[in-house]
Amino acid sequence: MSMRNPSIDREGGEWRTVLVYGLGASGRAASRLLLGLGAEVVGVDARPAASLELGELAGAEGFRLLAGGEPAEAPAGIEAVVVSPGVPLERPLLADARRRGLPVLAEVELAFPFLDGPVVAVTGSNGKSTTTALAGAMLREAGFDVAVCGNFGPPLSAQVEPGASDRPAAGSGERSSRVFVVELSSFQLAAIRSFRPRAAALLNVAADHLDRHGGLEAYTAAKRRIFENQTADDVAVLNADDPGSRETEVTARRRLFSRLAPVDDGCFLDGRRVVERDRGGEPVELFRTVDSPLPGAHNLSNAMAAALLARALGASPDACRAALDGFQGLAHRMERVIESGGVVWYDDSKGTNPAAVLGCLEGFPDDSVHLILGGRNKGADFAVLEPAVRAKAVHVYLIGEAAGELEDALGGSAPVARAGTLDRAVAEAALRARPGESVLLSPACASFDQFRDFNQRGDEFQRLVHAIVGGGPGGQEARV
């Protein structure tokens, strides 16, 4: 069996056997795509076979499983490796593959040549999922058939339809009513080769995943790869208010968004209006701040970025406004859980780095927040939180592995309780919070010390809040 993949260096070459490293959702989708295209697949995962959710891959013709360990070398006969986002590129097997000259590709890179429409791509340290969902909603309002996928939603490989190998690649310039709006992590971008979005955004760059990338410079470089294959016919959306984004060099048309100052090409805040300027022309209203339903200045920036991405594919301002009007926000991203006794509770479990916490705190009045922090540190410097905590926090509740680091970094900027666990933090905050104040879970940390992921942490927070302060799901004060 063989497959033809236009993304490999050997143009017109064929892969007969491909190794897929990591069998989570993206690895399984990549395996199904490869099998459908005629390749044999060797699936590798460190977890035992019994703990894997292989579905139809189990027993599939052409699929061979190596589970319960990670070989140091690629098996004989492997011609390429597709790597899942959760697998560090420094693993011995991947190093061996690169020494042997084998292509090592991200799952999104594998899928890209077989897509039947243009790609809109979003990355950044914070706000990726919200911006991706908003851009998708705006393009739907504009009449496009939209698939929202990638790091947020189903894997990109799952969007490839049968017979895709006979169609032109997504970057071919052919017009299509189908658009793929893809959220991309630094892990995915580190292993692209020819992936070329028609429009791409780098929302911001803040210290995150430094434990994986080894430093801010490497992390930033991975994020910026989103633009590396674009041409002058494409659009690069950059945040004029964020140095890591603003200072990125691009070949594509450079469009900026800013809450702080006018820009010559892009959109900016003008009083209560967001206006768009096209290459130095007269500003035209894009939407009003009241059209954005999400709290926080950072979410206004996300809406501006999404609008520029949608405009790059021809969406009208009316479509952007209509999408904003109907947008409900995403779970665990500054999600308002309940108001009880004059205290508002917010779930921002997705706030897994200090920059995300700072963005949330910016929208609260001074001396009004009961802040729950903690979890597993990803190499971040928590000291950057100290000024905002001093200004905004009434009390801080620390949980998880990083509690000690956080307490040292905050340096007495607010009263601190070493709650240890989320249930104790919620209980203590419920006792201390007064009418007019808010309780905010925005941990600045990963969840993996106590929870499966940020979703489970957020779900448990909401369950505890409803159980402790009343108004359970479906009741009078259920989440909004």
Distance of alpha carbon 416 from alpha carbon 397, whole angstroms: 6
Task: For residue 454, count other CB atoms closer than 10 A to its CB.
Answer: 23
* Percent over 70 (pLDDT), the chain: 90
pLDDT value, residue 6? 40
Q: Could you say which of 151, 239, 302, 377 is catalytic?
A: 151
Side chain identity at 473, as an amino acid letter? P
| pLDDT tens-digit map of 112-169 | 999 999 999 999 988 999 999 999 999 999 999 999 998 878 999 999 987 655 544 5
Distance of alpha carbon 373 from alpha carbon 358, whole angstroms: 12
User: Which residue pairs from 276-285 have beta carbons closer than 8 angstroms and sit at least 24 positions apart in sequence?
Assistant: 276/307, 276/308, 276/311, 276/317, 284/317, 285/317
Task: Tell me if residue 436 falls in helix, strand or coil.
Answer: coil
Exposure letters 341-373 (e unless 16+ CB within 10 A, then b): eebbbbbbbbbbbbbbbbbbbeebeeebbbbbb
pLDDT value, residue 207? 59
pLDDT band, very low/low/confident/very high, at 214 (cuts 50, 70, 90): low
Contacts of 287 (CB under 8 A, 6+ apart): 273, 274, 303, 307, 317, 320, 321, 324
pTM exceeds 0.85 for this model? no
Distance of alpha carbon 62 from alpha carbon 34, whole angstroms: 10
pLDDT value, residue 36? 93
pLDDT value, residue 215? 65
**Taking the domains of the chain in order of start, what are their residue ranges?**
3-102, 109-326, 335-469
pLDDT value, residue 298? 87
pLDDT value, residue 379? 85
Q: Could you say which of 128, 213, 332, 466 is catalytic?
A: 128
pLDDT band, very low/low/confident/very high, at 308 (cuts 50, 70, 90): very high
More confident residue, 6 or 417: 417
Q: What CATH number is given for 335-469 in this structure?
A: 3.90.190.20
3-102: in CATH 3.40.50.720: yes
pLDDT value, residue 471? 54
Task: For residue 443, count other CB atoms closer than 10 A to its CB.
Answer: 32
Confidence check: pLDDT of 393 > 50: yes
Least confident of 22-26, 88-92, 231-235, 421-425: 88-92
Mean pLDDT of all residues belonging to the chain: 89
Average pLDDT over residues 381-387: 94
Exposure letters 376-415 (e unless 16+ CB within 10 A, then b): bbbbbebebbeebbebbbbbbbbbbebbebbbebbeebbe
Distance of alpha carbon 443 from alpha carbon 396, whole angstroms: 11
Average pLDDT over residues 270-292: 94
- Let me know if the fold of 109-326 is the same as that of 335-469: no
| pLDDT tens-digit map of 177-191 | 799 999 999 889 988
pLDDT band, very low/low/confident/very high, at 14 (cuts 50, 70, 90): confident
Average pLDDT over residues 332-338: 90
* Catalytic residue flag (residue 392): no
pLDDT band, very low/low/confident/very high, at 29 (cuts 50, 70, 90): very high
Q: Could you say which of 5, 126, 204, 209 is catalytic?
A: 209
Task: For residue 419, count other CB atoms closer than 10 A to its CB.
Answer: 22
* Catalytic residue flag (residue 209): yes
CATH topology of domain 109-326: UDP-N-acetylmuramoyl-L-alanine:D-glutamate ligase (3.40.1190)
| pLDDT tens-digit map of 443-468 | 999 999 999 999 999 999 999 999 99
Task: Report how many helices (DSSP H) and strands (DSSP E) the chain contains, helices first.
Answer: 15, 22
Contacts of 250 (CB under 8 A, 6+ apart): 227, 230, 236, 238
Task: Tell me if residue 469 falls in helix, strand or coil.
Answer: helix
Average pLDDT over residues 365-376: 97
Average pLDDT over residues 384-400: 97
- Number of C-alpha atoms within 13 angstroms, CB side, residue 9? 9
Confidence check: pLDDT of 470 > 90: no
Does residue 180 contact residue 115 with C-beta atoms inside 8 Å?
Answer: yes
